Amino acid sequence: MLKAGKLIAGMLAAVALVGAAEAARAAELLMFEEAGCGYCRRWNAEIGPGYPKSSEGRRAPLRRIDIRAPLPDDIMLQRKVTITPTFVLVENGREVGRLVGYAGADFFYEVLGEVMQRLPSAADASPAADNEKAWPSPPR
């Protein structure tokens, strides 16, 4: 009987962990890309391998979407994506913010971090009036 109790307790703990993982993955970073996009290739080489291991990647796993494909039914954007790459941060399928284009590794995480502050579960950051984040100018 003791073994059955431990088994049930273990199963309940596993269910709780799955629920926590689902909640933690409510945010996603959508990467709209297309074949032949040089900036997409550059992002894939410079950021892609490390993104899943980063704190941002753990908070908002990457989901790739071909810009020419129909928008998945579980995604609601504020407006159409027309440039690749475009990174759209979503929470429960709804757009929270976006990064249009790719200006290099030096800026990607900085700008993404600012956009991620808009996630409802993030620390009390007030969202910017503009939902689209511009890349900062490179240092001179």
pLDDT digits (tens, 9 = 90+) for 83-111: 999 999 999 999 999 999 999 998 999 99
H-helix or E-strand spanning residue 40: helix 38-46
Distance CA 62, CA 122 (A): 18
pTM beyond 0.85, yes or no? no
User: What are the structural domain ranges in the chain?
Assistant: 26-133
Which class is 26-133 in CATH? alpha beta
Q: Model confidence over 7-50: pLDDT tens digits?
A: 444 444 444 434 444 444 599 999 999 999 999 999 999 999 99
Contact predicate 90/30, CB 8 Å: yes
Q: Quick check: helix, strand or coil at residue 94? A: strand
Distance CA 78, CA 82 (A): 13
